[in-house]
Structure 1
Amino acid sequence: MRIFVLTGAGISADSGLGTFRDAGGIWDKFDPMKLATPAAFAADPERVHEFYNLRRRDMLAARPNAAHVALGRLGEGLKVDGGALFLCTQNIDDLHERAGSRAVHHMHGRLSRALCSSCRATREWRADLGVTDRCAACGRVGTLRPDVVWFGEMPYGMPEIEEALARSDLFVAIGTSGAVYPAAEFVEIARMMGILTLEFNLGKSANAHLFDESVYGPAIESVPRFVARLLGTGGEGL
């Protein structure tokens, strides 16, 4: 079986990382147009760095939860039977990797990397980032930014995502709002291709009506149960 899993901020909520569009989420507290656009970075890079430095510190302090770990097991388990997992995340944290997932497609980038806005070089960066830091590739100072996809920018690797989705037997969305495009369209594309669709969420997403089946409740409970059933290691139902 080939499974395409899309994860959103909801899967990391039980690790203590905030969601974005729920009541009390990050974009309820902060204006994304002042923090998450190329124009915002050009206008006030220190403010943007301060916001993302705090988020990076939170990410480094967080620990993977049972849902992350279960998806790590799923990836390894599917290989045994000749299947495959394409794990695509909207999240910019590294909790999937730390939970054992070996290949994660970060469509919105990674907070643990820096991107030079001048030469576009990227590099691992887990410390605070600021306007005095120098790009090792081009030597310019003040051009480094978090390697995350901001509003108005294209997600990473859309051709790879579309190819993986077309090859899949099952599409699963976990902890997504169903309101952020193009990820919100994946379930509709899957349905048009005749692929079974399944949603795990705390409550109904904006596109919940497009899923063949929905399971509501904490991901730390429902996702491990689902993975155990798929891999034949126990668990009853979803």
Structure 2
Amino acid sequence: MLAELLPALIAEVELATKLLASAPRVCILTGAGISAESGIPTFRDNQTGLWENYRAEDLATPEAFARDPELVWSWYQWRRQLVADKKPNPAHDALAQWQYHAQSSHQQVTLITQNVDDLHEQAGSDVIHLHGNLWGNRCSQCDTSYQNQSRRTFDSASTLSFDEELINCSRCDGYIRPDIVWFGEALPVQAWQTAEEAAANCDVFISIGTSSLVYPAAELSQLAKQNGAKIIEINPSPTPNTIVDITLAEKAGVIMPLLVEQITKL
């Protein structure tokens, strides 16, 4: 499969393989691009159906929920239906395989994601979520967790509840909301601290399916670079960035299996 790539890309893959195989600590950040390869729409994609007249940026805010909680809750139930049948792609599987292999090779592989789906978990990875979990719920008033759903606890997506009726918290009677970090909200403290620590102490930082110019990816990659790490970007449409040492301009589902196969052989 490696031979099917362009010669210049093959050279970059081989360079990345050597770098990663000898790195004691690797920090990986994944973004919307890796989930898009499993068929999950990104925020940049146009809304469809009943939601085509709304912008995602106008619905994913605390203000929107306070103004019209039923509208926002219905939108998230619709989003959950969109991803309920989606499965990990070869990139997710390769990352999970790498983490498993790292346990015996004494390599530290920290996986951080900006995505709110659970495809990394489905593949078997241990992952830190910066933007929350689409299948989680909590009270909008007192933050009490409420019946977090998970596709992994059901035999099929059809058994999940996508009821659009609002739910009240049993503790304070506030409305239940998705456990997602909305625009204007701070990232979860513990997750961000763990991400910063991993980026600051890694030997190689990998950005997958997200531009290393966009925050928080930019902040983490810059932190890694400042502390001497090499930066690898895996993205079919990479953005020019002077801090990136190796650019792999191809889908993660193509690159990651190749990288992991080579790394676990060495």
Length-normalised TM-score, structure 1 = 0.88
What's 1:109 paired with?
132
1:43 counterpart = 2:43: no
Deviation at 1:25, TM superposition (A): 5.3
Opposite residue 57 of structure 1, the aligned amino acid is Q
State the structure with more CA Rg.
2
Q: Quote the Cα distance in structure 1 between the aligned partners of 2:182 and 2:163.
A: 17
Q: Is the 8 A contact 1:53 1:129 kept in 2?
A: yes
Q: 1:69 aligns with which of 93, 97, 117?
A: 93
For the residue of structure 2 that corresponds to 1:155, the secondary structure is coil
Deviation at 1:55, TM superposition (A): 1.3
1:135 counterpart = 2:159: no
Q: Is the 8 A contact 2:89 2:253 kept in 1?
A: yes
What's 2:43 paired with?
20
- What are the within-5 Å matches in structure 2 for residues 179-198 of structure 1? 179-198=213-232
Q: Is the 8 A contact 1:49 1:129 kept in 2?
A: no
- What are the within-5 Å matches in structure 2 for residues 88-103 of structure 1? 88-101=112-125, 103=126
| Alignment deviations for residues 179-210 of structure 1 (CA, whole Å, 9 cap, x no partner) | 542232211111111001100001113x6332
Structure 1: 4+ residue segments shifted above 6 A: none
Q: Is the 8 A contact 1:33 1:40 kept in 2?
A: no
Q: Quote the Cα distance in structure 2 between the aligned partners of 1:231 and 1:177.
A: 27
Higher helix share: 2
Q: 1:4 aligns with which of 20, 27, 43?
A: 27
CA distance 1:108–1:163, shift in 2 (3 Å)? same
Q: Quote the Cα distance in structure 1 between the aligned partners of 2:41 and 2:218.
A: 20
Q: Which runs of 5+ in 1 are unaligned?
A: 234-238
Opposite residue 151 of structure 1, the aligned amino acid is F
Length-normalised TM-score, structure 2 = 0.79
Q: Is the 8 A contact 2:25 2:107 kept in 1?
A: yes
Q: Is the 8 A contact 1:129 1:145 kept in 2?
A: no
Deviation at 1:131, TM superposition (A): 4.9
For the residue of structure 1 that corresponds to 2:37, the secondary structure is helix
| Alignment deviations for residues 126-174 of structure 1 (CA, whole Å, 9 cap, x no partner) | 53364531324x1515x11110101111112211111122221110010
Deviation at 1:20, TM superposition (A): 2.5
What count of residue pairs does the alignment treat as equivalent?
226
| Alignment deviations for residues 42-94 of structure 1 (CA, whole Å, 9 cap, x no partner) | 11112211221111112211011000000000111111111121110000000
What's 2:259 paired with?
226
For the residue of structure 1 that corresponds to 2:242, the secondary structure is helix
| Alignment deviations for residues 209-231 of structure 1 (CA, whole Å, 9 cap, x no partner) | 32111101111101111111221
Q: Is the 8 A contact 1:59 1:94 kept in 2?
A: no
Q: CA RMSD in A?
A: 2.0
Higher relative contact order (CA closer than 8 Å, sequence separation 6+): 2
- What are the within-5 Å matches in structure 2 for residues 210-221 of structure 1? 210-221=243-254
CA distance 1:58–1:2, shift in 2 (3 Å)? same
Q: Quote the Cα distance in structure 2 between the aligned partners of 1:65 and 1:117.
A: 33
For the residue of structure 2 that corresponds to 1:63, the secondary structure is coil
Q: Quote the Cα distance in structure 1 between the aligned partners of 2:163 and 2:222.
A: 38
Q: Quote the Cα distance in structure 1 between the aligned partners of 2:64 and 2:209.
A: 28
What's 1:236 paired with?
none
CA distance 1:152–1:179, shift in 2 (3 Å)? farther
